Amino acid sequence: MGIYILRRLALIIPTLIGIMLLNFVIVQAAPGGPVEQLIAEMEGHGGSALARASGGGTGSEVSTASGDSRGSRGIPDELLKEIEVMYGFDKPPHERFLKMLGDYATFNFGDSFFREKSVIDLILDKMPVSISLGLWSTLIIYFISIPLGIRKAVNDGSRFDVWSSSAIVIGYAIPGFLFAILLIVLFAGGSYFDWFPLRGLTSSNFDELAWYQKVGDYFWHLALPVTANVIGGFATLTLLTKNSFLDEIGKQYVVTAKAKGLDEGQVLYGHVFRNAMLIVIASLPGVLVALFFTGSLLIEVIFSLDGLGLLGFEAALNRDYPVIFGTLYIFTLMGLILKLVSDITYVLVDPRIDFESREGA
């Protein structure tokens, strides 16, 4: 297993480079960019933009065409060149990409173009919100879906199985953001009850509260966004667990175990559970990445939670390429590491799995 882990760790490097290169090329081909953003701002808000343009700064992590119609905008060539130097566009694309890789190897993501803050500081500032949403959403989904899926498998075809399947499919069909709006209307002062806060992760007087009040305030603010975030996550994992257990329950070794006099609990959790949970464990990295970084964007917007999803979305709109590539790098690296953790968990659940022998085959 040690050799396999080392191989997988070594593969992270070319995978990261390939993903960053692909996105770099896509952004290079996309119209618009920070130069165009700044020029447009200068045309409408000359004072602030000119001050920022003269303030200096670098942005070698970006890639974009600087535009062919700048001469018709009436902006002096000297100022255009200064802006290109400020954003790093005075260098060819391959040099910018190589410099970006060198900087990212040491987790130097540069500074945001438009927020006057380093990318790593922005990520660290937004991380608590995304971790809060992703962590509690994942725990709730797994703690409910796995036992529910097991019970549905044991009672396959029963009334409980039918009505629970109907309920989770309906929940899956409702978009999370729509359910979030419904929760606000019902419980956050929309039209009925005003039981939960609508904005932020904590109250304005959070620092003045006792520790137990801080805990309560934290979960009070998380109640609605986490509920909205997980409402559609039960269906896939529950049905995946059910089908996995049903497949294992029908195998010969289960019949043999029952014939030896083992009760249902011993068969289910002593034999079936280990094999059936493998496919559930395989889905964990994707669930974590989706919930932590990509699945909560609209939830963050609706509940005014300033997390990584909202940060990446705003960076894409503003062509803030250091933030775009910095968050992409972090998300990709964490996804690859979580996939490796998933494989290690495979072995912990079922020691019979040997990834090294499979690779050598």
CA distance 87 to 93: 12
pLDDT of residue 293: 58
The domains of the chain, with CATH numbers, are 2-113 (no CATH), 121-318 (1.10.3720.10)
CA distance 57 to 110: 10
Q: What is the DSSP string of 70-133?
A: GGGGT--HHHHHHHHHHHTTTS-HHHHHHHHHHHHHTT---B-SSSSSBHHHHHHHHHHHHHHH
Q: Mark the ranges of the chain whose per-residue pLDDT is less than 70.
A: 1, 30-90, 190, 282-283, 285-286, 288-296, 346, 348-361
Maximum C-alpha span of the chain: 89
Contact (CB, 8 A) for 64 and 35:
yes
Q: What is the DSSP string of 174-191?
A: S-HHHHHHHHHHHHBSSS
pLDDT of residue 79: 63
Cα–Cα–Cα angle for 110, 116, 119, rounded to 5 degrees: 35
Q: What phi, psi does 118 have (nearest 5°)?
A: -70, 150
Cα–Cα–Cα angle for 137, 119, 285, rounded to 5 degrees: 30
